[in-house]
Amino acid sequence: MVPLNWYLLLSAAVFFIGVAGFLSRRNIIILFMSIELMLNATNISLVAFSHYLLDMRGQIMVFFIIAVAAAEAVLGLAIIIALFRNKATTNVDEMNIMKG
């Protein structure tokens, strides 16, 4: 059987690739996708824990995370559309009306 640690390292790798994307890209949609990567990494570790702990609750949590991620995606994309109507850009560097 594959050891639990391998799954955890995979999950950590994907999670921090997501963090790196979030901290370095300009395109709002890619930022958003980086967050989805982070959520998926969390799901991987939860399912792995669930399997190795002989407990279903990790999988239940993944179920909730997927449901909320869907809701978040809907709202996030609606916000992007609302912004695009007024501004026609998806570049975070142009989000600078407010300085401080």
Partner 1 sequence: MGGVIFGYLAGVIILLSILVITVKNPVHSVMFMLLMFFHIAGLYLTLNAEFLAAVQIIVYAGAILVLFLFVILLLNLKDELRMKRTTWSWPLGVAAAGALFIAAFLSLRSFVPGTKGVITTAVIKAETNTKVLGRILFTEYLFPFEVVSLVLLVALIGAIVLAKKRQRS
Partner 2 sequence: MNIQLSAMMIMPEIIMTVLALAIVVVDLFVKRKDIVALLSLITAGVVAYATLNGSSGEAFSAMYIADGYSVFFKLVFIISLILTILISVKYIEIEEINLGEYYTLMLFATLGMMVMASAGDIISLYIGLELMALSLYTLAGFMTHNTKSNEAALKYFLLGAFASALLLYGTSLIYGITGTTNLKAIAAYLSVHGVAGNPALMFSLILFIAAFSFKIAAVPFHMWAPDVYEGAPTSVTAFMSVGPKAAGFAAMGRVFLIAFGSLQLNWAAILIPVAILTMAVGNVMALTQTNIKRMLAYSSVAHAGYALMGIIAGGSEGVAGMMNYLMIYAFMNMGAFAVVIMLNTKESKGDQITDYIGLAKSHPFASILMLIFMFSLTGIPPTAGFIGKFYIFMAVVKAGYAWFAAVAVIFSVISAYFYLRIVMLMYMMEPTAELSLSTSTGTGLALLIAALAVISIGVLPSGVISLARAAIAGF
Task: Name the residues that contact partner 2, by CB under 8 A.
Answer: 8, 11, 15, 18, 22, 28, 31-32, 35, 38-39, 41-42, 45-46, 49, 53, 55, 57-58, 60-61, 64-65, 68, 71-72, 75-76, 79-80, 82-83, 85-87, 95, 97-98, 100
Residue 97 CA to residue 95 CA, distance in Å, equals: 6
Helix (H, G, I), strand (E, B) or coil at 99: coil
In the complex, what is the shortest distance from the CB of residue 4 to partner 1, in angstroms, rounded to a whole number? 6
State phi, psi for 91 to the nearest 5 degrees: -100, 125
Q: Integer distance in angstroms from the first to the last C-alpha of the chain? A: 54
Rounded to 10 deg, the angle between the 28-52 and 57-87 helix axes is 180
The partner in contact with residue 21, picked from partner 1, partner 2, none with C-beta cut-offs of 5 to 8 angstroms by kind, is: partner 1
Q: What is the footprint of partner 1 within residues 10-49 (CB under 8 A)?
A: 10, 12-27, 29-30, 32-34, 36-37, 40, 43-44, 47-49
Partner in contact with 100, chosen from partner 1, partner 2, none, beta carbon below 5 to 8 Å by kind: partner 2
Output DSSP code: residue 54: T
